Amino acid sequence: MALFGNAHAIDPASAAQDFARLLGQGEQVHAAYLLIRDTILFTDRRLILIDKQGITGKKVEYHSVPYRSITHFAVETAGTFDLDAELKIWVSGTQLPITKTFTKGVDIYEVQAILTQFVAR
């Protein structure tokens, strides 16, 4: 399903090793998702969006969103004909949400629970 641009879950421990240079001291990855070349990390401190750019993917943008700056979020579950779920996150100071699409195999309720755990602190 990665060819269709939908995210799927990856092992958080493996993601923590792959992106160790991005993590602060003691920061833990609780969940991670791969979207073709891009990655989404949910840590205990923030949401990290890793966006590989260009044809070669050598240029990479690391977008860090502290949970305290998330004003609200929405999840849309997969349906019978629409096989993917969607996550929308609104960050303070921006009008448009960050939108990510997940395959039907991803438990979107788990994604919502992770956000609830950290945003509602």
The predicted-structure confidence for 86-108, as pLDDT tens digits, reads as follows 889 999 999 999 988 887 777 88
Residue 66: strand pairing partners: 46
The residue whose two tokens read 């977008």 is 63
Q: If we measure between CA atoms, which residue out of 36, 37, 38 comes closest to residue 49? A: 38
Per residue in 60-90, pLDDT (tens digit) is 999 999 999 999 999 988 776 667 888 899 9
Residue 113's H or E segment, with its range, is helix 108-119
Tokens standing for residue 113:
């629970």
Token representation of residue 18: 């792959």
Question: Taking the complete model, does pTM exceed 0.95, yes or no?
Answer: no
AA identity, residue 114: I
Amino acid at 50: I
